[in-house]
Structure 1
Amino acid sequence: MFVALTPKTASLLFTLLTLFSASCFAVITPQRQQAVTVCDATIQPDWPVDFTATTCQQVALVDVDPQGKTLWLQLTLPVSKQQLTQLKPPLALYLNAKASSSSYLNGYHLGNNGLPGNQPDEIAGNMDARFYVPLDLLLVGDNQLVVKMSAQQSLFTLPNPVHFIGINHYNAPQHHLQRYSNWMLVILGILLTATLYFAIRSLQSMQRGQHLLLALMSLFAALQLFSEIGRALFSYSYPLHDVRLLVIVTFSFGFGLCLLTLITQRFVRTHAVHWIYAGAAATLLTVILIPGFDNKTTAATFCPMLLSVILAARHGYRRRNLAAAATTVTLSLFLLIIVLTADYFHETLYFVLITLLLSVLFMQQAKDYNALLSNQQLDKERIAKLTLRLEQNQQHNKPAILKIASAGKVDIINTAQINFCQAAGDYSEINLTDGRQHLYSGTLKNLESELPSTFLRVHRSYLVNLEQVTRLQTSTNKSSGSAASLLLQNGQQLPVSRRLIPAVRQAVTTEIN
């Protein structure tokens, strides 16, 4: 991650940068452990500077620290004849550091990045600076680079504020920091898509809380990733670098806390809130006490995940729960990779793993969701059977009646004696079990509203009494597809609308069972 680095990690990162650059193009850059001369700029405020003064000292380049001070930095850039011929003009001096700066190459002033100076006078420069270098300014042999640096507007003190110094082809100031931006943009798109998907799913009533947590996890990961690659995409002044690091840690903490909440909701039966509060407090304390923002960012996710592993493992052991065991293995592998790659756990690996972790959690969530749907469907079928039985018992104990007015008289019909009803224009024919017929002065829809729930609409022209149904018959025709009919107790057959076949099959099965 492009955050504060320990000396070991900084050296490794710088070596990788150098090897990558050298494999693609010529680059002139000093070694991180190269000895450089540093002088206090409050004693010698103006150029030229006497670097042989007793107040000056030699330190390794990796240890140069302009935070809270103003200093002069002198270093040597050796250039071979081969390098000079390989360099493609125009050239630029790249200075990626948390500081304002003013650069001189072989006595020539290249320009300013902000304005270095004491606290009242400093103008903050960009985190990543670029200075044009005339080709004829470079010499075969040793070239002297002098940089005046200051960082008086820092919120935090970072262990290694100077990230890269080198001369190369003129390009964007972040040229040496954006190798992975294209891949990261792809992952960013995946995370934002996941955020939208889970946010929409959270609008449904089923598993709303868990879908909301997955949406927040995806969002926090996406925002953290965007903050990470933001340095490669945008130029910003060096004081904002501290804010950016703080934002990255905050998003990492948000992701970890949501993960812990999700695991406790799934696998903790009692005192779940207490575990969440305890995990949040322990993580926050660790983040505050641990040095270095790269370590803070990792700890903000590592600590909640470690507690999540413990909770999932405990539930899996006590309940012999396979889902808890699978979650334990997945999170444990993630933690193991973090531990094994602690010295070079950069943003590509981290966010690839985060995306894979979200994918695993999504698959587990989908499996739980499908199981919940199946259970709800079974419950609905049981409720439907119970409701139908209650309706039948009620009809047998106190049969429903239907009043039909015609020719100045009113016929009263016991609904249990109705076999089926058939649409006849603006009227409906009521067919009784004894073969008689009555004419109802209304549509089949009106008649359906007056009959008990033991009657089912099986076709736009037929309404059948389920108690009179003995069998549902289906057949398949290559030209017309599936067809179905109901066989009644009196031997009559009624057609079933193709789109209603599943509902009729379920109702008939419930009735027969």
Structure 2
Amino acid sequence: MQTVANFLQVVSHPKHLLNKSKSTSVLIANTRLVPLLFVIMTCLISLEAHASTYNKLSIQLVKICEGGKTEGQVTGFFKTKCEERSLSEVNEYDKLIWVGALFDADQLLMQRNKPLGLFISAKAAAEFYLNGQMIGRNGLPSAIPSYEIAGAMDYVTYLPANLLKAHNNELVIKLSSHHNVIGFEQLIQRIIISDYASPQNIVLRNYLPSFIPLGILLIGLVYTLPLVLTGTVSQYNLLLPLLTTVVMAQLVTELLRGLIAYNYPVHEFRALSIFVLGSLSGVCLLAYLAHAFLNTGRKRLMLSALCLILASVYQSNSLEQSTIFAIQIPAFICLALAVYATVYKRQSALAHAVALFIFSMLIAFLPGKFLDVYFYYFVSLLLLYFLVQHAIAYRNEKVQRLSEQSRADRLQRALDDYSEARQPTKIMLNHSGKVEWFSADQICFCKGARDYVEVNIADAKSILHSESLSTMEEKLPDLFVRVHRSYLVNTHYVQSLEKSTSGGGILTLTTGAEIPVSRRIMPKVRKVLI
């Protein structure tokens, strides 16, 4: 979390960055990723360790029979000649089926200090039987579509201790799935026997660490969006907050499963939403890098990437696989783009290439686990890196604007001085019942005294002019500077500036006069005189 604190310091105090060189800032930005990566990996290891102690028994191998063959024969299910498959191969939509599995409960009974439950995630309505006895129902399964009542996507039923045996427990599930719209997703995602708990609590245990990347993404969005909306940075950088928003929406959609119970037909729309948001995040990532490293050919690149994504989605077997392709293809193209930019020595291209290489390899070698476990951590890390680079770019842009503004101010002062030297401004002064005209370059300084101004002329003459200091300031040319609420000074007569212990200063003029400088105006006076 120190890294996040450091990042917030960058956001909250951009002036602090102005005192550091560009190379040092880039080094610091890259170094900050190391502790954050350590924190993320620690969370992941803790999650895996927690899952291994919580999930007592996972059923993977089952027997499948169609409904008509075993109706009313639950006790003799395992004597029938049915097909044996893994859960991932069960895809009997739009029909009634029976699913059975044998399991030993000796270890569960020995370690049990809480009631046991059967946790199932399936896009189906189901009835559950343990050793010939019905123990629960999720919706109402039926061979007739109109008779089926859709069950919850995640469901837990209590396993009575008096029905469990040490060995060869027979679990039989009567199951139907007539309300699927797309049918892309796996019919039965998991069957787990563990301590009894709410199905949302069981799901949420796996999603709780995802609040860490959600917080990081929210910080990034809060930082970048105001900069874009106020026009502080170039408009193409709208892609960065857009990418952050899309990934946040995808993560929130994932988290909803652990927060809200819903029936299985809703799950397909959730999976479809995740696919759409994953595709958008991949496209936004590619567009951001294309704008950063390409001057031409961006539209052709984006069109080619979209064609590749559509072709891979067409060949995929599930929405999860389609989502992985929709992220993987833009990531690989971004990696190639960053490598290309590195060869041509584009600024920060090498760091982008390294980050994208790690990101792409994780997708390639951990496709099954990546989307559910690692994706949001590494996307948030990648986005955090982009945000730090964005902050550095904004700092550099701000420094450049300040430098240009300073040069423009100096040029304007030089032009004003030249114009004033060629044709001095004439100032009318009222004093002692008469009116006199003086050139502005004759006036050394003006001292305010309520509704009067004491005007000091170069020949040591002092004139009491009936006018306020503010009105006088509006008439005088820019070579006069307000150094105090009561003093205006002609910069041409300034000989030295000495800082006082109070934080203000003393201006010594060529005439020998000493003028106080207020602490509040001191930085402005220094800037003008330099």
Q: Tell me the TM-score range normalised by the shorter chain.
A: 0.7 to 0.9
Q: CA deviation at 1:83?
A: 3.5
2:394 and 2:272 mapped to 1: Cα distance? 36
Residue of structure 1 equivalent to 2:105: 79
Q: CA deviation at 1:474?
A: 2.6
Q: CA deviation at 1:423?
A: 0.8
Q: Does 1:199 align with 2:225?
A: yes
1:185 and 1:214 mapped to 2: Cα distance? 20
Contact 1:87/1:168 (<8 A) preserved: no
Residue of structure 2 equivalent to 1:302: 328
Q: CA deviation at 1:415?
A: 0.9
Contact 1:100/1:151 (<8 A) preserved: yes
1:377-404 CA deviation, whole Å, 9 max, x = no partner? 1111111111111111221222211122
Aligned residues: 484
Moved more, 309-318 or 114-123: 309-318
1:138-190 CA deviation, whole Å, 9 max, x = no partner? 23332222211111121333463222223332211245544432211222222
Q: Does 1:473 align with 2:498?
A: yes
1:92-114 CA deviation, whole Å, 9 max, x = no partner? 22222221111112222222211
Distance 1:273 1:489, change over 3 A: farther
1:307 and 1:83 mapped to 2: Cα distance? 48
Unaligned residue ranges in structure 1 (runs of 5+): 1-16
Distance 1:272 1:164, change over 3 A: closer
Residue 161 of structure 1 aligns with an amino acid whose one-letter code is L
Residue of structure 2 equivalent to 1:368: 393
Residue of structure 2 equivalent to 1:5: none
Of residues 292, 298, 315 in structure 2, which corresponds to 1:272? 298
Of residues 214, 228, 236 in structure 1, which corresponds to 2:262? 236
Residue of structure 2 equivalent to 1:348: 373
- Report 1:67-466 matches (<5 A): 67-80=93-106, 83-117=108-142, 118-158=144-184, 160-174=186-200, 176-318=202-344, 320-466=345-491
Distance 1:62 1:372, change over 3 A: closer
Moved more, 357-366 or 306-315: 306-315
Residue of structure 2 equivalent to 1:497: 518
Larger relative helix fraction: 2
Distance 1:122 1:508, change over 3 A: same
Distance 1:112 1:273, change over 3 A: same
1:242 and 1:102 mapped to 2: Cα distance? 22
Residue 243 of structure 2 aligns with an amino acid whose one-letter code is M
Provide TM-score, normalisation by structure 2. 0.84
1:128 and 1:405 mapped to 2: Cα distance? 91
Residue 271 of structure 2 aligns with an amino acid whose one-letter code is L
Contact 1:201/1:211 (<8 A) preserved: no
Distance 1:182 1:37, change over 3 A: closer
Q: CA deviation at 1:458?
A: 0.9
In structure 2, the residue corresponding to 1:298 is in which secondary structure? helix
Residue 339 of structure 1 aligns with an amino acid whose one-letter code is A
1:121-143 CA deviation, whole Å, 9 max, x = no partner? 22111111111222212233322
Q: CA deviation at 1:18?
A: 11
Distance 1:145 1:266, change over 3 A: same
Contact 2:243/2:285 (<8 A) preserved: yes
Q: CA deviation at 1:457?
A: 0.5
How large is the RMSD of aligned CA atoms in angstroms?
2.7
Unaligned residue ranges in structure 2 (runs of 5+): 1-46
Distance 1:60 1:204, change over 3 A: closer
Contact 2:93/2:176 (<8 A) preserved: yes
Contact 2:237/2:288 (<8 A) preserved: no
Distance 1:390 1:249, change over 3 A: same
2:482 and 2:75 mapped to 1: Cα distance? 98
Q: CA deviation at 1:331?
A: 1.5
2:362 and 2:111 mapped to 1: Cα distance? 40
Q: CA deviation at 1:435?
A: 1.3
In structure 1, the residue corresponding to 2:137 is in which secondary structure? strand
1:420-458 CA deviation, whole Å, 9 max, x = no partner? 111112211111111122222222111101111111111
1:346 and 1:312 mapped to 2: Cα distance? 23
2:82 and 2:339 mapped to 1: Cα distance? 58
1:6-62 CA deviation, whole Å, 9 max, x = no partner? xxxxxxxxxxx999666457x4543x2x3x432222566556586489884443444
Residue 493 of structure 2 aligns with an amino acid whose one-letter code is Q
Moved more, 93-102 or 296-305: 296-305
